[in-house]
Each structure stands twice: as structure tokens, then as C-alpha cells.
Amino acid sequence: MKFHQTSTATIGGNAFNKEVKLSKVTPNNIESVTKTMVDVLRRQKKIWRKELNDWQAARNRRYSIDNPSNFYLQEVYDDAMMDGHLTAVTGNRTLRSTLKTYVFAIDDKRDDKLTNFIRNKQWFEKAIEEAHTSTYRGGICLFINDFHKGEILNIEPIPYGLYVPEKKQIINDFTSMGLDITKFEDILLHTQLYDHIGILEKAFPYTCLKRHSWGSWDEFEELFGIPIRIAKVASQSDAVKNEVAGWLQEMGSAAYGVFPTGTEIEIKENTKGDAFNVFFQKIKALDAEMSKLVVHQTMTTDNGASKAQGNVHENTLLALVQADEKKMLSWLNDVLVPAMRNIGYNIPENARIIIEQTKDAGEQIKIDGVLLGSGYILKKDYIEQVYGVEIETMPSGNQLPAIIKNEDPGKE
């Protein structure tokens, strides 16, 4: 939205690319002013909390056959992501993919020159993070908004609510056909790892019900968490009653009070000590449902019952992460890499992005020890890369490293 000193505004939506003159005559044109203000308000982010009826209405708009709108459902998603548990499990799943080491390879062998195109590049880190976000929000569009020939400088997502992924269109207002991004595949990248709706559609009812339970628990605490104090006075005077009531109010959380003779104070405590479980157990159940929805199990976010069950749940999560990695690599090689070539990166056709398999030094040293003991010779570069050490000279002949020679301390 651009405002000029000539009292002329260029805005989007109903007045997209049209000038609206704010003059003395304009206020009399009710239709023009109304369309202008309604459009401006539509563009503002609504921060009041959403309820189940908002979720259902947004779904109806999203699944419209003639004119699907993603804007309202994305606002519901924003509200869902205010939940702490949902933020934690989605973040956990995303980090397990984005923290991998992505490299370029030719014939499955790492190419350091090509890898430098994406290694430690902020734009690439943002790209894979936003790509994984499509798991939760549905299909999104990434915009390469700053680049030189052969170098991407910045990449940003198009506002989620303005993109309709199944049509690959950016909607510049709420009635037009939108912009077809397939005509700009070098800078506008359709990004979708799974379906075009996202799993937050299923998660919102849980976050909404959970918020209601927190509110009800808070009301329960106000009503029954503090013992009720009842003052009995002998006088029937309203003035005396009001004065004693004022003293009770001023007591607050104090353990004492001064009352006139004849005043009897009675304290009634809540005898239902387990009543809070109605809310607490419901919140726990909703958190568990969100964990199952996002990471397909619960024990990696909550306490496990046993090591065996924990291993089963961890394996379930690992299988899910592997599926995410396959989806991510498909998007990188089918969408991002061709876009990089169009921008001017010198990337051979047989080059692909892969995930570099990291090795555990403790486990790898056992394997390498067996290989060395069998007479195999390891390269200097391999040893330095795996163990993170610098080697000045390599042993020659049949000389074995200390880890092999001293494997059995009982033998010379």
C-alpha cells in the first residue's frame, strides 16, 4: 500500500492498481469508500481468537469449487500455532529434517564446488525450513525476490493466505483469477511436500478445545481454589453487614482479621481434591492427540513407560523423518535446482542434492579398526573428515594404529 502526498492512494483488492482520490466529494460516494475500507480491513491480520465455527467457515471457503480462498483458513492456522505443545512437536519434526547436511553430488559422490552454492547459505536454510512448513500449512509459494546471475541472495514465502496451491495461483484480491506462477517458475516456486491443505486443519479442534479447558480450569480455581469465608453477624442492620463484607474483602489473602464482637467467621474448603483432574486429564489427552497427529507417537515428547516402548516410538518417528527427507529431496531436485539453473548457476544435469550421511565416531572407529586389522588401508582425507583430526604423516607398511595393537591389554 503506497500513500502519496497528493492525497491519492494506490491500494490492493477492490481498488487494485486504481487510484482513489480522498477529496471532499469522495465521502459522499458511499459505495467507493465502503469498498476501499473493507478491502483495507481484509488485509489486516485478525488477532482475536478463533472458535470452531470460524474453523468450519474457513474450511467451507477453502473447499469451494468455484472460488477457493485460503486466507481465512490460514488465519485459523495462525491461531492454532499459538499453542505451546503444538509449536514444540511441529518444531521437533521440522528440526529433524532441516538440521541434516545437504550437499550436491554427482553419481552419488559429493561435489564440494557445487555444494558451496548452498552450504551455509541463509537463503537455502530458509528455503528448506519453509518447504517443511508446507507439511503443516499446505502448499505454499516461495519467491526468489533478490538475486544476481548465478547467485540467490534472498528467498521469502508469499503470504500463505494469498496462495491457492491446487491452482498454483497467487490471488491479488478476493475476486480475481490471480497470477499463474507456472509462468514464472524461475522465481516463484510451488512448494508442497504432502497435501495442499496441511495437517493444521486437523490440529485446530484440539488446540481450541484445549484453550477452553484452560479457561474452565481457571474459573474453577477462582471459584473453588480459595476457601470460601462466611461471616455471621448478630445485627440485622444493612450498614453493619456491608461494613463486615468490606472487611472480608480487604482481608485478601491475609491470615487474620479484626471483627466486632458477635461476628462469627466460617471457612468452607473444597472437599473435592481430585476435581481438577477433569481439566488436567482432558488437556493431557488433547496434547497426546496432537503428538500423534504431528509426530505419529507420544513418547518422544512425553514420559515413556519403558525403554522398549520408547524404542518403538523412536523408530516410528525415524520412519516419519525419513519420509520427510524423501519428500524434501524430491522438491529440492525437481523444483529448486531447475530454478537455480534458470537463474544462472552452473549445475550439471546429472548433479543432485543429497543428504550426507553423518557417521558416529564411536561406532565408526570399531568398523575402521576391523578393516585396518584385516590389512585394508584407509585414506588420509577419510580419517580427517570422519574423526575431525589433522594428520601430518600416515603409518607405512604393516604398522597398525594403537587402537588395534592394544585392543587386548592382556597381550603384548
User: What DSSP letter does each residue of 219-239 carry, written as one string?
Assistant: HHIIIIIS-EEEEE-S---HH
| Strand blocks (E) in 259-386 | 264-268, 351-355
Altogether, the residues listed in the chain come to a count of 412
Count of CB atoms within 10 A of residue 277's CB? Answer: 11
The predicted model gives 206-212 an average pLDDT of: 90
DSSP 8-state assignment for residue 109 = E
- Tell me the per-residue pLDDT of 259-306, one tens digit each, with 9 for 90 and over: 666 676 666 666 655 666 788 888 888 888 998 888 887 766 666 555
* Statement: residue 336 has pLDDT above 90: yes
Tell me if residue 8 falls in helix, strand or coil: strand
- Tell me the per-residue pLDDT of 30-82, one tens digit each, with 9 for 90 and over: 455 455 444 544 455 565 678 899 899 999 999 988 888 888 899 999 999 99
296 Cβ contact list (under 8 Å, min separation 6): 316, 317, 320
**Element housing 90 (H / E):** helix 84-98
213 against 130, higher pLDDT = 130
Q: In the Cβ-directed half-sphere of 215, how many Cα atoms lie within 13 Å?
A: 7
CA 254 remoteness from chain centre: 45
The predicted model gives 251-258 an average pLDDT of: 63
Please give the Cα distance from 355 to 133 (Å, whole number).
19
Please give the Cα distance from 115 to 329 (Å, whole number).
15
How much is the pLDDT for 330? 93
Closest CA to 20 of 46, 1, 42: 1
Please give the Cα distance from 20 to 80 (Å, whole number).
37
Beta strand pairing status for 188-191 and 179-180? unpaired
